Structure 1
Amino acid sequence: MSPRGRRPGGEDTRAAIIAAARAEFAQRGYDGTSLRGIAREAGVDAKLVHHYFDGKTELFAEVLAFPADPSELIERLVSVPRDELGEGLVRVFLSVWDNPVGRQRFAAMFAAAAANEEHARMVREFVGREIFVRLIERISNGDEVGEGSSVELRAALGAAQLIGMGVLRYVVKIPALADATVEEIVAILGPTLQQHLIPASS
């Protein structure tokens, strides 16, 4: 049950919000969770949630122990030339996860996703919607890059390629991929992601 009354701001408030967010995301998924619902679950005013976190994306990243702000990653990527975006996305992904702490967090995140369907659904929704769909929308510049289910499908396929690579590199640790250099992965995976993000006809 949610705590009764409103919790005043204090050093334990942020932790309470994170705990409530974890419960809400687990129950409702990323798309079905709202900041208002998290505030209600934590027993705080909704303004306090906004005080500690810029939005749902940042809060979800905190719940997952995501080592970077997805919004900042998007900003880095929109400055990359359009014809190099696939390679840029691989580089940014590896810059986040390709270190001892990042590898450990990635493995923990996707081990939990493999063991729990609700956790897997949260990760799918988050990566697909908050990273790939937002990136496709930001780089379109009004161009025809597809709409509706087309964008959703390309986002999902791009996420599958990138996350699948991460799982095999950091979790399963297939030797050829685990030992590959960043440049080797960028050269092979970049063009595939480029096609998902910006079809050749765009």
Structure 2
Amino acid sequence: MSGTPAPARTRNAAATRQAILDAAISRFSREGYDGASLREIASDARVDAALVSRCFGSKEELFVEVLNCGPDASELFQGELATFGERVADRLMDDPDTQDGLDQLLIMLRSASSPAAAGPLRRSMRSWFLAPFAAYLGGPEAEVRARLAGDLIMGVAISRAITPDHDLDEAGRASLRKRLAGVIQTAVEP
């Protein structure tokens, strides 16, 4: 036995934090706010529940952080308003990387009935999507137009999660894309 101490275990705070967030995203998307517990999230992340509390505070604060990890919608709000409907229809129909968005939708849907989650959900949706969208749109009734287009986008995203090809052949998908672009464009126009 040598007198040399064993090397200290390396800790990577960023990796641990990300593991907790990944576990929380998974739990909240499967079980909603009320169904997920900090203890289960900690177990999934292979950390102590006290560490989750130290890193994020309360379950509500972790939930808010998870909501803030959603896909960046800001790229939708770049470019000419006149082509907005086409850009969004293309993304909704063709974007191969939909898992992050689907996880966020599931978290919102499965947590929507929770009184504890209602406030954070509302604030998050407003800050990361509706307010920037309304600012991009500008003009009269920008918030109403942003809400209408956002609701249409969310509905199509849910539909695509259920049937990725929309149960249509190539010609049908092309027609759907064209009509969807028109409907979304109409929703955002002043």
- If the TM-score is normalised by the length of the shorter chain, which range does it land in? 0.5 to 0.7
Deviation per residue, 1:96-133 (Å, 9 max, x gap): 3xx3x63x666665556555435895777655652344
Q: 2:60 aligns to what?
A: none
Aligned to 1:69: 72
Aligned residues: percent identity? Answer: 13
Alpha-carbon spacing, 1:109–1:137, altered in 2? closer, same or farther (3 Å): closer
- What is the rounded CA distance, in whole Å, between the counterparts of 2:164 and 2:12 in structure 1? 49
Give, in whole Å, the separation in 1 of the partners of 2:93 and 2:124: 18
| Alignment partner, residue 87 of structure 1 | 86
> What corresponds to 2:158 in structure 1?
167
Q: Which residue of 1 aligns with 2:16?
A: 12
Where structure 1 has 5 or more consecutive residues not aligned to the other structure, the ranges are 1-6, 28-39, 47-55
SS at match of 1:43: helix
Q: How many residues are matched?
A: 149
SS at match of 2:15: coil
Separation in 1, partners of 2:134, 2:17: 36
Post-superposition Cα deviations, 1:46-93, rounded to whole Å, max 9, x if no partner, equal 9xxxxxxxxx78x5364xxx5x4323x23xx412x2212122222233
Change (3 A) 1:123 1:93: farther
Query: Which TM-score applies when normalising by structure 2?
Result: 0.53
Once residues 168 and 118 of structure 1 are traced to their aligned partners in structure 2, the CA distance between those partners, rounded to angstroms, is 21
Q: 112, 117, 120: which is aligned to 2:112?
A: 117
In the alignment, structure 2 segments of 5+ residues that lack a partner are: 1-10, 35-50, 58-63
Shift in alpha-carbon separation, 1:186–1:70, aligned structure 2, 3 A:
same
Distance 2:167 2:148 in 1: 22
Q: Which amino acid aligns with 1:15?
A: A
Larger Rg: 2
SS at match of 1:145: coil
Q: Which amino acid in 2 is paired with 1:137?
A: A
Distance 1:132 1:185, change over 3 A: farther
Corresponding residue SS for 1:13: helix
Residues 174 and 138 (structure 1 numbering): CA distance in 2 closer, same or farther, change over 3 Å?
closer
Q: How far is the alpha carbon of 1:184 from its aligned partner?
A: 2.4
Instruction: Give 2:133's aligned residue.
Output: 135
Aligned mate of 2:67, from 60, 78, 90 = 60
- Is 1:178 aligned with 2:176? no
Shift of residue 198, structure 1, vs aligned partner: 2.3
Cα distance change on mapping 1:15 and 1:126 into 2, 3 Å: same
